[in-house]
Structure 1
Amino acid sequence: MTSSLIRGRPRRAKAHIRVRVVHAVLGVVVGAGWLVLPVMTAGPQDPVPVAPTGTVASAAAPQQDETSTTDLVLPLIAVAAAVGLAGYGYLRRTRRARTRTTPGIVSPAPPAPTQADSERQARAALILADDCVRTSREELPFVQAYFAETETEPFVHALRAAETELAAACAIWRRYEQRVPQDAAARRQALVGVVGRCAEAGRRLDAEAPALDRLRELEGPGLAGALEVAEGRFRELTGRTLTAEDTLTAVHDRCTPAAVAPVTGYLEQAKDRLVFATMRLNEARQSADAGDGARAAAQLRAAEGAVAQADMLVTGVERLAAELREAAELVPAVLTGAEAEIAAVRKGGVPVPLTSGELHARLAHADAVLAAVRRELTAGPYDPLDALRRIARAVERLETGHAGAPSAAALLVARSCVAGAEDFVTVHRGAVGPEARVRLAEAVRELGAGHAGPADFLAREARDLAERNVRAHGNPHTSADGDAPGLAAAVLGGVLLAEDPDAGPPASYGGPQSRARRRFSAPA
């Protein structure tokens, strides 16, 4: 088997070996040439005048000594030059070997990342992938409102694929948090899986971003139509915001403050984003009139993001009001169904996997819960969703396995809680960490499987974690003198990416490589 060191040797190393061999051979050839040069140049001497015998004999010895010395000097010089070249080459090779940075040859390999480094990388990957998915989800409706379904289908498909990859990454991270697996090597591999899944989610969105830009043509003829769509949604949303205020006032009259706590402040946040959208739409029009298509497209994307989040906030208020009405209508029927379930257990008509003591304690608890809910119904304003939650949990603890009115109530409560957590994380994603996002993803998965209890619990936990993140985050882009209304809300909501001191570019459909492609240029 070939060793890893040999496999890692670059081809340049073989070239260096060949060069060294050539240098050595060249030195030997040059030295040999100088040594044989006197022999090759020996030949018949020119005729000389006849001299006396004594004179010739006396002069021959000095001439031969001079010739012999001359013949040896040049070869010695050549040999010395060859030795010098070889020494110089050896010094260069030694110096190069000491400073070489090629991995696998001389320099040591970089240190492997620690477990903490890998966890930080996985956390950052989860946040980035989740942001890209949510941003793409916000822009897509503006595209679908102007183009045919067949034209937007590739972008919808890419978004669904990215959501699937992100959900898988969240599931791996959730198991990692629960110490599954426990083997150190397997845990490192799990973190690699999280990063890889998140990268694939971003790649799917990055791959479709250029095609989306070609379809929309926001820097050219497509800008006018896109502005009309955004302005139409803006006008409709302005009217809905006023109606939602009246709706929320009516909910306050018949429910406790705890019942409306999930949407407290939502309409104020929606108004902030609408103010921000107004400014950006106006600037987009002005840039378009000035012929600056790139700036107009960036301003439009910022306005679209703000309008999308304002829509989500207003919709959250409307949805909660509807869910509270539905829950209030359902409470009497659920109470009746729960009492029937408890009576059946007492009579022994429903087998339960509990000991006598456990069953007695849980029946007493269920009786107390139902009695408390009945008192609340007659005492004044109450929280219908919380009443359903308590009834459903009390009956669920009896472990009868029956699906009746309490189970339907539990699903209504879980859907409401998951949707509320989704809204909160989306419109505050500039501050929300990975823990809240992962628990929310698991809540969505549990709800899809029909597990209302776990979905409700995880969604409430995700909301609590997200609110804690927002309180601890703050916002460096809040304007002290009020010259940038809505800017802080846009940064907190991830409408602007906060990559620059001026709050950065608007987020667009795409992955990590393309979501910041539309940047604000200086006004023409």
Structure 2
Amino acid sequence: MTSSLFRGRPRRATAHIRVRVAHAVLGILVGAAWLVLPVMTVDARDPVPVAPVGAVASAAAPQQDGTSTADLVLPLIAGVAAVALAGYGWLRRTRRTRTRTTPGIVSTRPPVPTPADSERQARAALRLADDCVRTSREELSFVRERFGEQRTEPFTHALRAAETELSAAFAIWRRYEEGVPEEAGARRQALAGVTGRCAEAGRRLDAEAEALDRLRGLTADEEGLRAALEVAEERFRELAARTMAAQRTLAALRERYAPSATGSVTGYVEQAKDRLVFAGARLNEARQAADVGETRRAAWQLRAGEGAVAQTGVLVGGVERLAAQVREAAGLVPAALTGAEAELATVRRPALKPGEPETRPAPADRGTPADRRTPPTPGEPDARPAHVDGVLAAVREELTGGPYDPLDALRRITRAVERLTGTRSGVLDAAALLVARSSVAGAEEFVGVHRGAVGTEARARLAEAARELGAGNTGWADVVAGEARRLADRDVRAHGSEGDAAGLAGAVLGGILLGEDPDGGPPPAFGGPRTRSRLHT
């Protein structure tokens, strides 16, 4: 059986080794021959006539000395020559290895990436997979509107599978950020799991991209292209009317409530108008290209227009959602105040009878470091009821003092009670759920329409907020969603302004165009990393 070391050695390297060994053996043989030569000539007969004894004695000494010196010098020269030949061969091989263009086989194992490299790969994979899922969801909404639920079921199934994989990847990444696991090898495996989950999400979408293209027929069927244009143009006209209504709705909210009540949708109406301008230009270009038979260019323009229309719907829907939630919160504030007062009265029950065990609900186990409270030391007064009293008094004053923020009022009431009792029930639980839903939805909308600039940290926090909301941890979901929104806003500010919305800057910032080329690049399509940019012109 051949050793693995020799199997991994190149043939040329083996040939060089043989040459060096041959040079060394040759040098040794030459040296040995010179050493043996004097011994072989000791008994040789001298043909010169015998001289007198005195003459022989006088001439023998110098002749013997000359023969001894030659016998030592010549083998030494041969050995040095052999070493020089071997060194020369080694230098030639080293120089050839450094300068040759074809790589040699150094090792059968790939290099192990450093932890920093693995983290960068995981971050990039998360962001790319999240973009693919969002884009696929947007395009599928147009396909479903035309073909119905039944014919689009395979694509819906693939999208849900990709969403599941992506959610699991974000969960692993979040635990990794928190330091779990701690062992270095396990942390490398966690990063590999993140990258693998993202790759699987992309693979699920890539597998259905070709089938979706066949169903839509944008480049192969002129009739299919025109039908898709009609769907996009119909939604465009609907959103144009809704944008005007959203502008009036937002103005009414600003007149009635505090500025913070509408802060999460500041600029949404203006951005929606910009997206409409971009969408209108792209849809018109698509119609003109379809009229002259340039189906591929028409498909490019159509997908760009669809992306802008979808984001217009997100922006307008955000204003409509917030208006409905603010009105609902305003109706819940009085009931929440009453429920908080009842909880406070329960905590301030009469003193316990002698021998009766004291039971106190545990404080909330989730929240920001500032939210976590240490139970009072025995014998010292509990300051938490006084804190709740202060919060409730401030909210009552806001109700009678002018414009206020209903969602923020509910947030402060529910957090104060949760710090005091560790639990909520009834109207307080409903209020906390409303606040968390509003916070998570606002962060989701902002990330979706600015995904060209939003990084992995904000997306990971948003995914965590969605998981916590689904698990019923409304207080923590509200906290994490707020962090996601702040991180996303920081990324957008670092990226810069949108510039001319009818041009490329706003489209690249929103992820409507991929930004791969100077002209903005292709619009992303349904699919994973391998197929999402297939609409190159």
Range into which the TM-score falls when normalised by the shorter chain: 0.7 to 0.9
Deviations 1:54-76, CA, capped at 9 Å, x for gaps:
xxxxxxxxxxxxxxxxxxxxxxx
Cα 1:110–1:268 shift into 2, 3 Å: same
Unmatched runs of 5 consecutive residues or more in structure 2? 19-88, 353-358, 363-374
Report the equivalent of 1:337: 339
How far residue 401 of structure 1 moved from its aligned partner, in angstroms, is 3.0
Cα 1:400–1:285 shift into 2, 3 Å: closer
Structure 1 CA distance, aligned partners of 2:282 and 2:381? Answer: 62
Structure 1 CA distance, aligned partners of 2:240 and 2:3? Answer: 70
How far residue 399 of structure 1 moved from its aligned partner, in angstroms, is 2.6
Cα 1:467–1:3 shift into 2, 3 Å: farther
Report the equivalent of 1:126: 126
Aligned residue among 434, 456, 462 for 1:434: 456
Aligned residue among 512, 515, 519 for 1:502: 519
Q: Is the 8 A contact 1:306 1:495 kept in 2?
A: yes
Deviations 1:202-238, CA, capped at 9 Å, x for gaps:
1110110000000000122311110110000000000
Q: Is the 8 A contact 2:449 2:511 kept in 1?
A: yes
Counterpart secondary structure, 1:382: coil
Structure 1 CA distance, aligned partners of 2:125 and 2:388? Answer: 44
Report the equivalent of 2:360: 351
How far residue 448 of structure 1 moved from its aligned partner, in angstroms, is 0.2
Counterpart secondary structure, 2:383: helix
Deviations 1:349-408, CA, capped at 9 Å, x for gaps:
973244457872111100100000000000010000000000000100113534221111
How far residue 189 of structure 1 moved from its aligned partner, in angstroms, is 1.3
- 1:200-279 correspondence to structure 2 within 5 Å: 200-219=200-219, 220=221, 221-279=223-281
Cα 1:7–1:434 shift into 2, 3 Å: farther
Q: Is the 8 A contact 1:170 1:441 kept in 2?
A: yes
Aligned residue identity for 1:310: T
- 1:24-63 correspondence to structure 2 within 5 Å: none
Report the equivalent of 1:397: 419
How far residue 6 of structure 1 moved from its aligned partner, in angstroms, is 6.4
Structure 2 CA distance, aligned partners of 1:507 and 1:359? Answer: 61
Counterpart secondary structure, 1:145: helix
Unmatched runs of 5 consecutive residues or more in structure 1? 21-89
Q: Which moved more, 1:112-121 or 1:229-238?
A: 112-121
Q: Does 1:454 align with 2:476?
A: yes
Aligned residue identity for 2:360: P
Structure 2 CA distance, aligned partners of 1:131 and 1:7? Answer: 45
Structure 2 CA distance, aligned partners of 1:189 and 1:4? Answer: 28
Structure 2 CA distance, aligned partners of 1:145 and 1:386? Answer: 37
Aligned residue identity for 1:118: S
- 1:67-106 correspondence to structure 2 within 5 Å: 106=106
Aligned length: 443
Deviations 1:322-357, CA, capped at 9 Å, x for gaps:
000000000000100110011011106973244457
Q: Is the 8 A contact 1:334 1:406 kept in 2?
A: yes
How far residue 110 of structure 1 moved from its aligned partner, in angstroms, is 5.7
- 1:112-151 correspondence to structure 2 within 5 Å: 112-151=112-151
How far residue 427 of structure 1 moved from its aligned partner, in angstroms, is 0.2
Deviations 1:220-270, CA, capped at 9 Å, x for gaps:
231111011000000000000011111111101111111100000000000
Cα 1:97–1:246 shift into 2, 3 Å: closer
Report the equivalent of 1:87: none
How far residue 5 of structure 1 moved from its aligned partner, in angstroms, is 4.1
Report the equivalent of 1:67: none
Cα 1:9–1:406 shift into 2, 3 Å: farther
Q: Does 1:290 align with 2:292?
A: yes
Q: Which moved more, 1:199-208 or 1:179-188?
A: 179-188
Structure 2 CA distance, aligned partners of 1:163 and 1:180? Answer: 23
For normalisation by structure 2, the TM-score amounts to: 0.77
Q: Is the 8 A contact 1:331 1:387 kept in 2?
A: yes
Structure 2 CA distance, aligned partners of 1:183 and 1:393? Answer: 36
Report the equivalent of 2:371: none
Q: Does 1:409 align with 2:436?
A: no
Report the equivalent of 2:304: 302
Counterpart secondary structure, 2:519: coil
Structure 1 CA distance, aligned partners of 2:380 and 2:178? Answer: 28
Structure 1 CA distance, aligned partners of 2:204 and 2:393? Answer: 54
Aligned residue identity for 1:345: V
Q: Is the 8 A contact 2:142 2:232 kept in 1?
A: yes
Q: Is the 8 A contact 1:273 1:486 kept in 2?
A: no
Cα 1:361–1:441 shift into 2, 3 Å: same
Aligned residue identity for 1:413: V
Cα 1:280–1:352 shift into 2, 3 Å: same
Aligned residue identity for 1:401: T
Structure 2 CA distance, aligned partners of 1:396 and 1:224? Answer: 56
Q: Is the 8 A contact 2:286 2:297 kept in 1?
A: yes
Structure 2 CA distance, aligned partners of 1:412 and 1:320? Answer: 11
Cα 1:298–1:107 shift into 2, 3 Å: same
